[in-house]
Amino acid sequence: MIDRKKVAFYTLGCKLNFSETATIARTFDDEGFDRVDFSEFADIYVINTCSVTENADKRFKTIVKQAQRSNSEAFMVAVGCYAQLQPEELAAVNGVDLVLGATEKFKITDYLNELTKNDTGAIHSCEIEDADFYVSSYSIGDRTRAFLKVQDGCDYKCTYCTIPLARGISRSDTLQNVLDNAKKIADQGIKEIVLTGVNIGDYGKGEFGNKTHEHTFFDLVKALDAVQGIHRLRISSIEPNLLKDETIDFVAQSNSFVPHFHIPLQSGSNVMLKAMRRRYMKELYKDRVEHIKSVLPNACIGVDVIVGFPGETDEIFLETYNLLNALEVSYLHVFTYSERPNTHAATLPNEVPKSVRSKRSKMLRGLSAKKRRAFYESQIDTHHTVLFEGENKEGYIHGFTENYVKVKTPWNPALVNTLHKITLSEIDSDGLVKIKFDSVLVKN
């Protein structure tokens, strides 16, 4: 292999994928490659794929074509969930040379003995039962926040989900590894760490290869809060049945954990939740939201919701809409149901027409905008700490408060990756919040 080859990366999907792309990229750094932006000329392009929705599948071909415009002779590698679930489909895409599954993706440089273009992509994909070991991952160096992987895989059997087929059983990093990685991130000057995984509330299962829990998610939260040098810790998506009151109460008095929760609901109908094989009913979800707001009145609460699941009648959809409208939540991530191969849901009767799915999705997206606006308005004239990001967007720099209000102020490069005490002053026409600075820099 010629020294100083150039490699570029593109990530589709979730925060977990971003953490793993960064870890894969570091293996290329160790092998002497130069990392470049995906829009630039590279000898190798690595695309980390997602297969949660049909749209993510379709985007893969678009990304391949984008890379080919920069270098039509580049060696193209596909990794990630889609690569594990549908390797033959990816290998058949024009320009793809190598497809690596769930376990092989972390040994990617072992498969690059020669960068010869192939007529069809070579496939190295394990049986998902073999994905029973854990690989530590975190993103660093290209963001003001880092994504720290603490858990992988899932033992839940939600009827619509392909993730257990793509990532295998639930397993966790050791507590000491997580703490060591958090310290490494903090030592790089990154101000915020976002905990990520497939089912992070199940943390502790599979630690040291054990079938049972060595530690709990609450143990993890308490240990991370004691790590010196971390300014902010944010919990990413966590199942409502695994978000315990003890964790919520601890966050309310934490040194580092911020008042922001993202809790999947998926449906506000118990009939649908049972059909989805979720592990809670809507009453528990309502209780979680109310408890958060009782101890953290300014907390931001995000919600995942699926529309158009088989059997979702107009009445059932309105049950979801009305529940979300009544709950004190801050924004919605709306997913239009799409049939995924090898899932139980794809075999269910009473399919919802796609036109109806689209209409319902539009209604919930409108509700999300209303909820976000109401949450932002409730925060006007309140005091917060904002972490500024690194991009000049039409003359403004953006940032997020600890409770996830997105703010803007005129561009100033000196603000990048700094924390400042501010007052939220007014909502702009683009839906972002303008600020007033209360004091000088909080912390370097």
pLDDT tens sequence for the chain (444 residues): 456 899 999 999 888 999 999 999 999 999 899 999 999 999 999 999 987 766 766 788 999 999 999 999 999 999 999 999 989 989 999 999 999 988 899 999 988 877 778 777 889 877 777 777 888 999 976 668 999 999 999 999 999 999 899 999 999 999 999 999 999 999 999 999 999 999 999 999 988 777 778 899 999 999 999 999 999 999 989 999 999 999 999 999 998 999 999 999 999 999 999 999 999 999 999 999 999 999 999 999 999 999 999 999 999 999 999 999 999 999 999 999 999 889 999 999 999 999 999 999 999 999 999 999 999 999 999 999 999 998 899 999 999 999 999 999 999 999 999 999 999 999 998 899 999 998 656 655
Q: Return the number of other C-beta atoms located less than 10 Å from residue 35's C-beta.
A: 15
Same domain, 333 and 394: no
Give the CATH number for residue 413.
2.40.50
In this structure, what are the phi and psi dihedrals at residue 216, rounded to the nearest 5 degrees? Answer: -105, 170
Same domain, 39 and 116: yes
Same domain, 368 and 347: yes
d(CA 161, CA 129): 17
Q: DSSP string covering 42-76, please? A: -SEEEEEE--SSHHHHHHHHHHHHHHHHH-TT-EE
Is 109 within the bounds of a domain? yes
d(CA 327, CA 263): 13
Residue 316 · residue 272 · CB < 8 Å: yes
Query: What's residue 374's pLDDT?
Result: 97
Domain range enclosing 24: 6-126
Same domain, 47 and 157: no
Burial class (CB in 10 A: 0-12, 13-18, 19+), 83: buried
d(CA 258, CA 134): 27
d(CA 197, CA 203): 9
d(CA 195, CA 198): 11
Q: How many folded domains does the chain comprise? A: 4
